[in-house]
Structure 1
Amino acid sequence: MASKTAAVEVDAGGRAVRVSSPDRVIFPASELGGDVTKLEVVEYYVAVADGIVRALRDRPVSLERWPKGVLPGMKLTARDATHGRGPQGDAFYQKRLMRGMPEWAKSVRVHFPSGRRADQLCPDHVAAVAWAAQMGAITFHPWPVRSIDVDRPDELRIDLDPHGTTSFVDAVRVGGAVKELLDEVGIVGFPKTSGKNGVHVYIRIEPKWTFTDVRHAAIALGRELERRTDGVTTAWWKEERGDNIFVDVNQNCRDRTIASAYSLRPKEGGPVSTPVTWDELADLDDPNEFTLRTVPARLESVGDAHYAIDDVHHSLEPLLDWWRRDLDNGLTDMPYPPEYPKMPGEPKRVQPSRNRSDTSGNIV
């Protein structure tokens, strides 16, 4: 039997983080590069400290853990650790604090749509990120709130997800249309690659509205984008999306999260969800150029494209005006995710093919 590799210590912003099994392969070799070890994953997060901490600071964070590595055939279970049953499967979402959390790491209590409550990691230092990576966390999923008020989001998230035959290039095109809409109402958006095939746009907002308000604003923006741009849909039901870029407005619901800026994604080569400028996005055709091995040098040479994201917090009123206008014109709310209880104003939550009436609330 081969002997286990001795643990090593990594300096994470002045704090020592112990890394066990440092030679464990997390991302096997691919055409994007050689094997990526557990130690390299931890060192990556230390190398992008400024960017990852900016993305996670003082936010409750759910962890996507792949403790055995992102190996062929492994699957991410839909179950998570919110029910006290512990991890299930090869990879899972960790929504409760892990055992052995260092005393210097911070946490915050949140509650879920089910009514359950949990304490979650709330990073304020890169050492907390490095420790989570040592525990098998590949991707960090922050809530759009700060620990000071976990019920008032300070961020609206636009998730552009290719569906059907559409691709990353189509998401880039629609991202440009998002910028035009935001410019029209005086809102600054910050784009990034999803680390897969999509595009995300983040908007800092004043922390004065509820999750429901923010979701309504996202629906209004998505519908306006759908009106003005070819190849866009807000249809919640997959059977209605067709070959379009899907605007996932439900990513703004409570406990629905998106991979943070500078998070690794569980795909071969260790791709990274990477902040870009609008000009860079317009010229980008391959998100795989951003990986664990290329992003640290990029951050050092050109800086963080989200550096100024916290400089201005916008009002939601221009988007909520669109929401109220749409209600006046006969549109309704849209279905919530399946784990939600029936929500006020929500149409019947049933697939259109199983229901004779039109309950989607989408534009027709």
Structure 2
Amino acid sequence: MNKLDRYNDKRDFDTTPEPRGEAALAGGSQASFVVQKHDASSLHFDFRLEWDGVLLSWAVTKGPSDDPSEKRLAVRTEDHPVAYGSFEGTIPEDEYGGGTVMLWDSGAWEPLHDVAKGLKEGKLHFRLHGARMEGGWVLVKMGGGKGDRDNWLLIKERDDFAGRSADALVNKYKRSVTTGRTMREIAADTPAFEAVTHKKALPRFRKVELATLKDEPPEGEGWQHEVKFDGYRCLMAVGKGGVRLYTRNGKDWSDRFGALCGPADALPCDAALIDGEVVAERGGFSELQAALKAGDPLVLHAFDCLHLDGDDLTGKHLSERREALEGLFGDLPPRGPLRLSPVLEGDGAEALAAMCKAGGEGIVSKKIDAPYSGKRSKAWIKAKCIQEAEFVVGGWSPSDKKGRAFSSLLLGSYEDEGFVYRGRVGTGFDDEDFEALAKELKRLGRKTAPFEGDLPSETKGSQWVTPELVAQVEYTEFTSEGRIRHGAYKGLREDKEAENVSAKAEAETDSGDEEIGGVRVSSTGRVMFPDAGLTKGDVARHYARVAERMLEHVEDRPLSLLRCPDGIEEECFFQKHAGKGFPEDIRTVPIKEKDGDTADYMYVTTPAGLIGAAQMGAVEYHVWGARRDKLERPDRMVFDLDPDEGLGFDAVKRAAVEVREGLEACGLQSVPMVTGGKGVHVIVPLRRIAEWDRVKDFAKGFAQALAEKEPKRYTATMSKEKRKGKLFIDWLRNERGATAIAPYSLRARPGAAVAVPVSWDELEELDRPDGFHMGDMEDRLSRTCPLGEVDAQGLGKGAMEALEDWAG
């Protein structure tokens, strides 16, 4: 027996406006729920949960209550078709269920255990994500129902969404969640949206702002995080003369988006220009394509207001534009065809994690204080859960299967070097797709391949087309060659011009995962050092290679990372506290700071910790001069020899030797390290007997004494005015909380040099401080580290007295 036979048998579809009962395929990442207020023989609320192609249905006699102490009778009724979830209207009086039906609430539901088992055992526990019903709920089956009545109880769980009054929920909301109409207005068939008089000129189309793709959302304050929708970008203009709906490229699609024109014409304003995204009521891009063909309902999620009542708002901050948008949309029904794009709570990482968990596409993060630029901007950053992009069709592979017009489409994108081959897509097509695409491929046929350069063997025997069709494709990753893996066709995009389709950002962001040193590293093909052509994978492999040696000098020290998530030519920032999503091998130690507060600092103890930092986009590693078991007793002292512009490396080497000689006069042995920058560090290994103040006082006194001995060559003052033509002997690395570049760390500078400890004899032979690179590490690791050849020395009373004698 069909699940919907009972539903169909009870209704005469020549009379009732209700939809005919047909089981539906799954539509979207989350199942829907709907509550319909139903004034039949008695007023009740129909509670429906989408499952297995139908709406499981219960009649709740008094309506749902968000008071956990209130148990509402819910009588199980026949399953309804999923299409019933959008029904609002009046069922003829003589028909089954005759009366007025209002869409009172809708949204997504999340079962918390196996649904089939819950229905069988009589307990269904779930979460609701609706406009009015939210949080945890439970349906519990009762025993001893009269006749064939299947009685359950609908009960609210005690959580942040629980209320205290039995009927507050149904008394508060008297209007439709989709049309804003009352029961009386629905019964009178009052139009859901009535046009108003717009007194100012219709705003013209203007170029839309586009987001920059990043691997992860931005950190810190000053960002607003929103849902990334899977639809068509739309600029909605309202004013004298009605409504115009434009694509991102300025095409007038008012006819194709016609379902939105009536609601837009009812907006209470003199004129407006609204930026948003058009989506299907249910599902993703494929469902939107189907909805456009069938003329089904559409939804515009509005996220920006560029013009309102004659005022251009593009120069104002996003926060001000959002306020204007909320004022315009504030009284619209929350599940109507025009909706405010929700702002997600939490920081970017939390928002993205929540969106991915919910099955969404991703988020767009926007600077709150930025104007609307009308171009691709880093004030808008998108981060994706699903790998999906546009590609241009350049050919097709024939199929030997009957009824299949082709085996796969060959895809490309337009980059600086021309039309680049990006791989194939061979799944995701239905019969209508094959039929429609076959006609287009025949129309666009050509004899030669449109792609630049040599093509792989997989394209042998293919047929070529002029690259005009733009396809939306989901994929798992990009290969190191810049081609997609496991592509699935989602539909054609008619709103984008082929010559504007680039996949460079996706290829650099999504170019594959790889296990390096036992750590899963994502986006290994992303270029980190453009001049050297080195990738994120290369950086991770460097730290895997040097890990054992580097840990001798880094292990257990509080650590600061210089992170460059998108490469050294993009934004880089220091981070000393682990953020959300950091690998567990990057550990934390609580440290009391100068202001008395305690903060958790990062440290590593394993190769996985070093590689895990590279996975987070770290390029440079900077360390404290003490280890976490004795934070107040440093085990090294560092003099950073920093030359002014114009001073050559010979001057730095000469200074290093003089520092060495001065330290030896104080009874201390030292080791030089070329930093990979422009200077040299002279490092003194220490026994852990002196505290920070003594180490700092010695370093400061030594630097000042040397500057006084050679005032024309050296300075111990950071001031730029006093550094002209001199070399700064930086002793400030020896304060509590100060850091210095770690041995064997990369430097985030062109060339990708490595900081390397050397012997004094070796330093004399070097001609530059940034001459060691990744390729030199195998040779360096085959030798003993010079830092390990000097014994730690105490900085006691004798050393302080020797300093006074040497300073003279």
1:321 maps to which residue? 801
1:10 maps to which residue? 516
- The answer to whether the 8 A contact 1:108-1:119 is kept is yes
1:265 maps to which residue? 747
Distance in 1 separating the partners of 2:796 and 2:644? 28
Q: Which one-letter code corresponds to 2:800 in the other structure?
A: L
2:65 maps to which residue? none
Structure 1: where are the runs of 5+ without partners?
75-89, 330-364
1:347 maps to which residue? none
Q: Bigger CA drift: 60-69 or 315-324?
A: 315-324
- The answer to whether the 8 A contact 1:191-1:201 is kept is yes
Question: CA separation of 1:149/1:285 partners in 2, compared to 1, >3 Å: closer, same or farther?
Answer: same
Q: CA deviation at 1:268?
A: 0.7
> What SS does the corresponding residue of 2:634 show, helix, strand or coil?
coil
Distance in 1 separating the partners of 2:555 and 2:672? 19
Distance in 1 separating the partners of 2:721 and 2:584? 48
Deviations 1:258-289 (A, max 9, x none): 11111111111111111100111122111232
- The answer to whether the 8 A contact 1:163-1:245 is kept is yes
Distance in 2 separating the partners of 1:102 and 1:136? 12
> What SS does the corresponding residue of 1:307 show, helix, strand or coil?
helix
Distance in 1 separating the partners of 2:622 and 2:581? 20
1:23 maps to which residue? 525
2:598 aligned with 1:96, yes or no? no
Distance in 1 separating the partners of 2:539 and 2:752? 9
Number of residue pairs aligned between Structure 1 and Structure 2: 301
- The aligned runs of 1:29-44 (5 Å cut-off) are 29=531, 34-44=532-542
Deviations 1:182-221 (A, max 9, x none): 2223211111012111110111222232222111100121
Q: Which of the residues 124, 127, 131 maps onto 2:612?
A: 131
Q: Which of the residues 563, 588, 592 maps onto 1:111?
A: 592
Q: CA deviation at 1:105?
A: 4.2
Question: CA separation of 1:105/1:241 partners in 2, compared to 1, >3 Å: closer, same or farther?
Answer: closer
Question: CA separation of 1:128/1:104 partners in 2, compared to 1, >3 Å: closer, same or farther?
Answer: closer
1:277 maps to which residue? 759
Distance in 1 separating the partners of 2:652 and 2:798? 24
- The answer to whether the 8 A contact 2:529-2:567 is kept is yes
Distance in 2 separating the partners of 1:210 and 1:312? 15
Distance in 1 separating the partners of 2:640 and 2:673? 10
Distance in 2 separating the partners of 1:196 and 1:22? 25
Deviations 1:151-193 (A, max 9, x none): 2211111111001432322111100111111222321111101
Q: Which one-letter code corresponds to 1:63 in the other structure?
A: L
Q: Which of the residues 637, 642, 657 maps onto 1:161?
A: 642
Distance in 1 separating the partners of 2:653 and 2:669? 17
Distance in 1 separating the partners of 2:796 and 2:639? 14
Q: Bigger CA drift: 161-170 or 148-157?
A: 161-170
- The aligned runs of 1:142-181 (5 Å cut-off) are 142-181=623-662
Q: CA deviation at 1:318?
A: 4.2
Q: Which of the residues 678, 686, 709 maps onto 1:197?
A: 678
Distance in 1 separating the partners of 2:632 and 2:695? 11
Q: Which of the residues 781, 792, 797 maps onto 1:312?
A: 792
- The answer to whether the 8 A contact 1:163-1:242 is kept is yes
Deviations 1:101-146 (A, max 9, x none): 4444432222333444321222111110110011011111111111
- The answer to whether the 8 A contact 2:639-2:731 is kept is yes
Q: Which of the residues 133, 141, 164 maps onto 2:622?
A: 141
Distance in 1 separating the partners of 2:585 and 2:646? 47
Distance in 2 separating the partners of 1:95 and 1:302? 32
Deviations 1:285-321 (A, max 9, x none): 1123211232x12323433222335x42332434422
Q: With structure 1 as the length reference, what TM-score do the two structures score? A: 0.77
> What SS does the corresponding residue of 1:290 show, helix, strand or coil?
coil
Q: Which of the residues 38, 57, 61 maps onto 2:555?
A: 57
Question: CA separation of 1:177/1:324 partners in 2, compared to 1, >3 Å: closer, same or farther?
Answer: closer
1:253 maps to which residue? 735
Q: Which one-letter code corresponds to 1:315 in the other structure?
A: L
1:356 maps to which residue? none
Distance in 2 separating the partners of 1:35 and 1:150? 39
- The answer to whether the 8 A contact 1:123-1:129 is kept is yes
Question: CA separation of 1:104/1:237 partners in 2, compared to 1, >3 Å: closer, same or farther?
Answer: closer
Q: Which one-letter code corresponds to 1:192 in the other structure?
A: M
- The answer to whether the 8 A contact 2:524-2:535 is kept is yes
- The aligned runs of 1:234-245 (5 Å cut-off) are 234-245=716-727
- The answer to whether the 8 A contact 2:565-2:617 is kept is yes
Q: Bigger CA drift: 38-47 or 281-290?
A: 281-290
1:293 maps to which residue? 775
Distance in 2 separating the partners of 1:155 and 1:217? 12
- The answer to whether the 8 A contact 1:28-1:269 is kept is no
Q: CA deviation at 1:45?
A: 0.8
Question: CA separation of 1:110/1:178 partners in 2, compared to 1, >3 Å: closer, same or farther?
Answer: same
Q: With structure 2 as the length reference, what TM-score do the two structures score? A: 0.36
Q: CA deviation at 1:49?
A: 1.7
1:233 maps to which residue? 715
Q: Bigger CA drift: 230-239 or 53-62?
A: 230-239
Q: What's the % identity of the aligned pairs?
A: 31
Structure 2: where are the runs of 5+ without partners?
1-388, 390-502
2:601 maps to which residue? 120
Distance in 2 separating the partners of 1:112 and 1:324? 32
Distance in 2 separating the partners of 1:59 and 1:116? 20
Distance in 1 separating the partners of 2:751 and 2:644? 23
> What SS does the corresponding residue of 1:121 show, helix, strand or coil?
strand
> What SS does the corresponding residue of 1:26 show, helix, strand or coil?
strand
Q: Bigger CA drift: 259-268 or 222-231?
A: 222-231
> What SS does the corresponding residue of 1:302 show, helix, strand or coil?
coil
Distance in 2 separating the partners of 1:237 and 1:92? 24
* Higher strand content, 1 or 2: 2
* Higher helix content, 1 or 2: 1
Q: Which of the residues 198, 206, 213 maps onto 2:694?
A: 213
Q: Which one-letter code corresponds to 1:194 in the other structure?
A: T
Q: Bigger CA drift: 316-325 or 210-219?
A: 316-325
Q: Which one-letter code corresponds to 2:670 in the other structure?
A: G
Question: CA separation of 1:116/1:138 partners in 2, compared to 1, >3 Å: closer, same or farther?
Answer: farther
Q: Bigger CA drift: 135-144 or 314-323?
A: 314-323
Distance in 2 separating the partners of 1:170 and 1:112? 37
2:567 maps to which residue? 69
Question: CA separation of 1:166/1:319 partners in 2, compared to 1, >3 Å: closer, same or farther?
Answer: farther
Question: CA separation of 1:298/1:114 partners in 2, compared to 1, >3 Å: closer, same or farther?
Answer: farther
